[in-house]
């Protein structure tokens, strides 16, 4: 795998009720900037989206925002980013986010965050990419989703040979080192990591 030069971060356009989510978004932004990793994200200025983008910028990092035209006002497009792309629709937005990212991170969020994350997991399952997908499991946010995936496996809907492989970091500080270790081939055993789901 190539080095991690850019990370697409999926996250809520709301900030959530727990301050830990906001703190994690800010910390991830700081760590990405320090590592020289570009943020690719949905282009909004509100919620966790705005927090992670501003944190990258405030710490001297680069940000690419990609937003569909119909969401420019609703998600309050952040115009201070280094590169801002306005697309015609969600499909174009997601395609560009995929193309410009070396890895994908899901911070806490709503059904949009879930949908985008699952799409990347599905494409990997079908052999369309080998980019890592990581759940930022802040305060156990993604545990119900992980349990749902295991339920699907037990009931025969995730079958052998169609494993859903993803990674997990329980703190924002672990995300960048975790992804870098995957890219460098030094990611070892014994870390909380999503091995193929059939092995969970």
CA distance 9 to 4: 13
Q: Does domain 6-199 have CATH number 3.40.50.450?
A: yes
CB of 90 closer than 8 Å to CB of 111:
no
Average the pLDDT over each of 80-84, 159-163, 191-195 and give the range with the smallest value: 191-195
CB of 163 closer than 8 Å to CB of 196:
yes
**What are the residue boundaries of the structural domains of the chain, listed by start?**
6-199
Q: How many residues does the chain have?
A: 200
Instruction: Kindly report whether the global pTM for this prediction surpasses the value 0.95.
Output: no
Cα within 13 Å of Cα(138), Cβ side: 24
pLDDT tens digits, one per residue of 171-184: 999 999 999 999 88
> In this predicted structure, what is the pLDDT of residue 161?
80
CA 133 to centroid of chain Cα atoms:
7
> In this predicted structure, what is the pLDDT of residue 109?
98
> In this predicted structure, what is the pLDDT of residue 191?
36
Flag whether pLDDT at 99 surpasses 70: yes
For 55-196, strand residue ranges (E) read 63-68, 83-87, 103-106, 133-136, 167-169
Of all residues in the chain, what percent carry a pLDDT higher than 90?
78
pLDDT tens digits, one per residue of 5-59: 999 999 999 999 999 999 999 999 999 999 999 999 999 999 999 999 999 999 9
> In this predicted structure, what is the pLDDT of residue 72?
76
Flag whether pLDDT at 190 surpasses 70: no
pLDDT tens digits, one per residue of 1-11: 468 999 999 99
**Cα 72–76–80 angle (5° rounding)?**
100
> In this predicted structure, what is the pLDDT of residue 17?
96
pLDDT tens digits, one per residue of 52-95: 999 999 999 999 999 999 887 776 778 889 999 999 999 999 99
The band of 117, judged by pLDDT with boundaries at 50, 70 and 90, is very high
Cα within 13 Å of Cα(165), Cβ side: 15
> In this predicted structure, what is the pLDDT of residue 188?
52
Strand, helix or coil at 181? helix
């Amino acid at each position: 795998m190539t080095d991690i030069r850019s990370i697409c971060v999926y996250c809520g356009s709301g900030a959530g009720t727990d301050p830990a989510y906001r703190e994690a978004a800010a910390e991830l932004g700081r760590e990405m900037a320090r590592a020289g990793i570009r943020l690719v994200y949905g282009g909004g200025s509100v919620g966790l989206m705005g927090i992670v983008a501003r944190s990258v910028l405030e710490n001297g990092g680069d940000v690419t925002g990609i937003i569909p035209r119909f969401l420019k006002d609703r998600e309050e497009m952040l115009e201070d980013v280094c590169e801002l792309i306005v697309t015609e629709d969600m499909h174009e937005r997601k395609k560009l986010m995929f193309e410009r990212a070396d890895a994908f991170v899901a911070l806490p969020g709503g059904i949009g965050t879930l949908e985008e994350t699952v799409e990347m997991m599905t494409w990997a399952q079908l052999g369309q990419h080998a980019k890592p997908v990581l759940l930022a499991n802040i305060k156990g946010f993604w545990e119900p989703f992980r349990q749902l995936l295991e339920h699907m496996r037990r009931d025969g809907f995730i079958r052998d040979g169609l494993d859903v492989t993803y990674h997990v970091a329980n703190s924002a500080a672990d995300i960048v080192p975790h992804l870098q270790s995957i890219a460098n081939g030094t990611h070892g055993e014994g870390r909380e990591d999503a091995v193929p789901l059939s092995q969970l």
